[in-house]
Structure 1
Amino acid sequence: MASSTQSPPIQSPSTRSPRPNLAFRQLRGQRSPGEFAAAVRRAAREIGERVSCDARYVGRVEAGEIRCPNYAYERVFLHMFPGRTLADLGFSPRAQVRGRAARAECEAPPSPTVIRPRGTHHPGTPSAPSTPSTTSNTSTPNNTNKPHTTIQLYESHPSGSDPRACDPYAIQTHEESDVRRRAFMTGSTVTVAAVSLGPVGLALGGAAEAAARQGRGIGEAEVGAVEEAVRKIRLLDDRHGADGLYRRAAAPLRTAYALLDAGTTRQSTADRLHAGAGELAISVGWLAHDSGRFDDARSHYAEALATARVAGDPALEAHAFCNTAFLARDAGRPREAVRAAQAASRAARHHGSHRLLSLIALREAGGWAGLGDRAGCEQSLIRAHALFERGASDTDPEWMSFYGRAELEGLEAQCWSALGDWERAAGHAWRAAATASSQTPQFTRNIALYTAELADDLARAGRPDEAATAGLRVLALLDEVQSSRIQSMLAATARVLLPHRRAAGVGGFLERHASLPRAV
């Protein structure tokens, strides 16, 4: 029998047998694929993502059929396993799976479908600068310096389509398209952060490098720049919320600690620099906290606490513990919240600020509420009010500028909400929003937060029409404010109001909420 003159077919990478992803399987541990999928969905909700992860998807990842996840799953996985890269999770580099080269290897590439970002672009709005992925300290390589002529997003294949496609579960896209898409979605907040924080970070970096290179110490000018960076971050957060600021604020923080390493010429300068770097770490930690990056926030707060201990600075220590208590409450660790608040109280004991002790008492109240301890919560609230009524003083820390009657009412509302007393919570949330609007209108983010709390409390108290009205007021502020916390609260309110969609105003709120562009 004559041998065939035809050459054997060349097997493309997309048709070769997949290599199992053992690293990802190890991370799953003893959990079943279904249990792990549930953990993925919970992690996605924590950072405002929506993924339809199930046991089948987990199995396909572990089998190596999904060589690189799409961007939504990437953000979720990096949030679940902070400090790891996609390679650490067993995935292939995106450049090997995505883009023109990968598509050329596929024997049956899908038809391109241009997917436009959700939301409306306003002509004349400046494009935000390219920023890294915003869910982990580990960022994926950025190819924005490479020329691209067209940007197309490829939809995933429906079930039963060509099995030889490159990555059936992933949206195929260039790195540049994702960067542009993130910049478009975050909008003006990132632009403001870039303009306001970029020059600070660069100036501090130059000073630190020059000092280290020349062997000289850091002086008053550099310390003043660190302190100004702290003020600038707080101001931008008050106006715009945390989501677009976090990555930009990390650069001045790194520089501040580089200044500490370079050393100072005088002890008074060293003390100020330690305090400034610690406050900057707390500010960046708060941006991470408010944008749902709890692990990052915990790391920054711990860094600030270590700085406080090294410098022997009880005021900085009290601030770090105070924020740690707030984070622990939000992260579902109420007992840790109580302990951290009590540690903050001990550190602040001799500071002489009644307002600081009042705020710390509210942090403790939040922890007791999370534990369901009504008596402990009420005792802490009574103490917080009594200390607050003693008034402000010159010893109040600069960072407490946000803490007034509105914040007191807002934090108390959160306590009663955690205890399930919705009517009482709604009363305090209404007072918080009204007070903030009249006394501190520049704190746009806080006004939105208090009003979102009010909407949720009203919805759960069985007053859907009033809840929808409050929710619409929050939606009107979201052009100015980018906060995952507020967006999560609105999403929860929308779920509660869904059965009441026929009530007055509720349908309009649900429709407007559903049309919101989702941050990516």
Structure 2
Amino acid sequence: MTSPPAKSASSRTVPARPNTAFRQLRGRLSPGEFAAAVRRSAREIGEQVSCDARYVGRVESGEIRCPNYAYERVFRHMFPGLTLPDMGFAPRETVRGRGARTAAVSAAPLATDPDHRDTRIQTREESDVLRRAFITGGPAAALGLAALYPLDTADTPAAVPGPRRPAGGRAGASEASALEEAVRRIRLLDDRHGAEGIYRRAAQPLRAAYDLLDSGVQRRAVCDRLHSGAGELAISVGWLAHDSGHFDDARSHYAEALATARVSDDPALEAHAFCNTSFLARDAGRPREAVRAAQAAQQAARQLASPRLLSLLSLREAGGWAGLADRSGCERALLRAQRLFAGGPSDNDPEWMTFYGEAELAGLEAQCWSALGEGQRAAEHARRAVALQDPHFTRNIALFTAELAGDLAAGGAPDEAAAAGDRVLKLLEQVRSARIRTMLDRTARMLSPHRASAPVAGFLDRHAASAAADDGGGRRPGPAD
């Protein structure tokens, strides 16, 4: 590979200008909602982009002066007739490091013209090579982010180099960026595959993140980014432990994130840590702690001007009240969650909340009604949650389908429950989640007395075979382990 051309003085000092044209294209959608729309549009034309709220923010701030080829095709598909300059981007030929070669490739058509398939394949291969280079070299390698890469192509653990401090002994903006990328990568992988395939591997970047904090940082802005990134990474790894059934590990990681938030005086991180702590407490059978943690999260979140965040935290509180069998407390929290959600998205919504939409609202409400013994009402909300879920969130589709199966079984609809259970088994071929498997095990036990029904018997046999296959390959631990 040839060396890149030397940077000119002018190329190093080009200031970032806010991309107001692109901001107008986003309209009234929140960054997270717009990112979801970008991903949906990408699937429509056979592209795959990992767009999230942070990427949208980088575009609108002017940090991304020109999108890569895949994003350009998606944006042109979303906004027919608009050129890159129309969207507020700089022409490719003016962006350092691209040159005439990229201008030629960027003209590749969007349609499935056979004469241009090779060009599109080449572009995808180049994007893959660049991504591989990012996570196996430089600051990202220091974070151990390369450990996550094999999930794209295989499902076997890879050897991971130990964390190391940056050259010169101090962390800088590049390490902060690599840390933020690690958080985004873990979230995207979890959305698609569930926690169990990546939980152990994600511990390496987490150790490296806190090692970076110990290396010393001179600039306050970089220090704040590193603390926030390390805390968010601790929450992400905690969630992976939670979803894999390792509740004690999850509790430890959430406590670590909370301590980081307190040290760095970061209310957004504190609200997130308490939010997940509440969720964990509910699942671990500590509903009173779930209520207290959710209320503490709401207290921290009041500084953030995000109605959607407060809505989610109210749902966490509702889940705790439901676990206490306090119907009136649960209903009050649910009504508050619905009212806040109706306030719409905001630019202040945290990046990690991209999963929270109508589907999640319905699904969490279903869990509340299920805990209160209202199986039929819970099933109605669970069915809505499955129908509304963005296809990107494969794990959540599996989760709410499992919720639906359990609610139908509890509500006296065994055949429908078995059909939903079969859909979960199919999704578990892509998703590895001890939490979802445990929910499905519970449904199978409820359906056992109905084995005389052919649909139920078929599901029970397939469930048993799936469980046996898991045992043969080393069954993943559940919450009781």
TM bracket (short chain): 0.5 to 0.7
Q: What's 1:497 paired with?
A: 447
Matched, 1:353 2:276: no
From 400, 408, 415, give the equivalent of 2:361: 408
Show CA shifts across 1:488-514 (max 9, x none): 011000000000011241011001000
Are 1:446 and 2:403 counterparts? no
Report the Cα distance in structure 2 between the residues aligned to 1:408 and 1:482, rounded to whole angstroms.
Answer: 23
1:512 aligns with 2:462: yes
- What is the root-mean-square deviation in Å for CA atoms of aligned residues? 1.7
Secondary structure of the residue aligned to 2:191 is helix
How many percent of aligned residue pairs carry the same amino acid?
A: 67
1:469-500: CA deviations, max 9, x gaps?
Answer: 10011111111000001100110000000000
Q: Report if the CA contact (8 A) 1:189-1:244 is conserved.
A: no
Choose the corresponding residue for 1:482, options 418, 432, 443: 432
Please name the residue that 1:455 is paired with. 405
| 1:194 Cα offset (Å) | 4.8
Which runs of no fewer than 5 residues in structure 2 stay unpaired?
Answer: 1-149, 475-481
Output the CA distance in 2 between the equivalents of 1:189 and 1:485. Answer: 23
2:415 to 465, 470, 475: 465
Q: Deviations over 1:227-262 (max 9, x none)?
A: 000000000000000111110000000000000000
| Aligned partner (choices 347, 350, 354) of residue 394 of structure 1 | 347
- The aligned residue for residue 6 of structure 1 is none
Cα distance per residue 1:293-316 (max 9 Å; x no partner): 000000000000000000000000
Contact (CA 8 Å) 1:468, 1:509: kept in 2 or not?
yes
Structure holding more helix per residue: 2
Aligned ranges 1:82-93 → 2 under 5 Å: none
Deviations 1:140-198 (A, max 9, x none): xxxxxxxxxxxxxxxxxxxxxxxxxxxxxxxxxxxxxxxxxxxxxxx978935857xx7
| Cα separation, partners in 2 of 1:271 and 1:188, compared to 1, 3 Å | closer
* Aligned amino acid, residue 293 of structure 1: H
8 Å CA contact 1:190–1:244 kept in 2: the answer is no
Instruction: Give the alignment's TM-score, normalised by structure 1.
Output: 0.60
Distance apart, 1:205 and its partner CA: 2.4
Match of 1:34 in 2: none
Secondary structure, aligned partner of 2:154: helix
For residues 353-379 of structure 1, give each alpha carbon's deviation from its aligned partner in whole angstroms, at most 9, with x where no partner exists.
111000000000000000000000000
Q: Which amino acid aligns with 1:395?
A: N
Unaligned segments of structure 1, at least 5 residues: 1-186
Partner Cα distance (1:336, 1:489) in 2:
22
Q: Is 1:419 the counterpart of 2:372 in the alignment?
A: yes
The answer as to whether partners of 1:193 and 1:245 remain within 8 angstroms in 2 is no
**Could you tell me how far apart the structure 2 residues matched to 1:190 and 1:429 are?**
32
Larger radius of gyration: 1
The residue type paired with residue 457 of structure 1 is D
Is 1:378 aligned to 2:328, yes or no? no
Where 2:285 maps in the other structure, the secondary structure is coil
Distance 2:156 2:189 in 1: 7
Match of 1:191, SS?
coil
Instruction: Provide the rounded CA distance (Å) in 1 between the counterparts of 2:170 and 2:206.
Output: 19
Partner SS, residue 163 of structure 2: helix
SS in 2 for 1:265: coil
1:231 matched to 2:207? The reply is no
Contact kept in structure 2, 1:341 and 1:363, CA below 8 Å: yes
1:191 aligns with 154
Query: Which of residues 251, 254, 261 is equivalent to 2:214?
Result: 261
State how far apart, in whole Å, the 1-side matches of 2:251 and 2:306 are: 25
The one-letter code of the counterpart of 1:231 is: R
Paired with 2:436 and 2:152, the residues of 1 have a C-alpha distance of: 15
Aligned residue in 1 for 2:32: none
Q: What is the correspondence of 1:329-348 to structure 2 with a 5 Å cutoff?
A: 329-348=282-301
Q: Distance between the aligned counterparts of 2:315 and 2:175, measured in 1?
A: 35
Query: Which of 287, 290, 297 lines up with 2:240 in the alignment?
Result: 287
Residue in 1 that maps onto 2:383: 430
C-alpha distance in 2 between matches for 1:301 and 1:329: 14
CA distance in 1, matches of 2:452, 2:196: 33
Name the CA distance, whole Å, in 1 between partners of 2:156 and 2:300. 33
Distance of aligned partners of 1:347 and 1:190 in 2 relative to their CA distance in 1, 3 Å threshold? farther
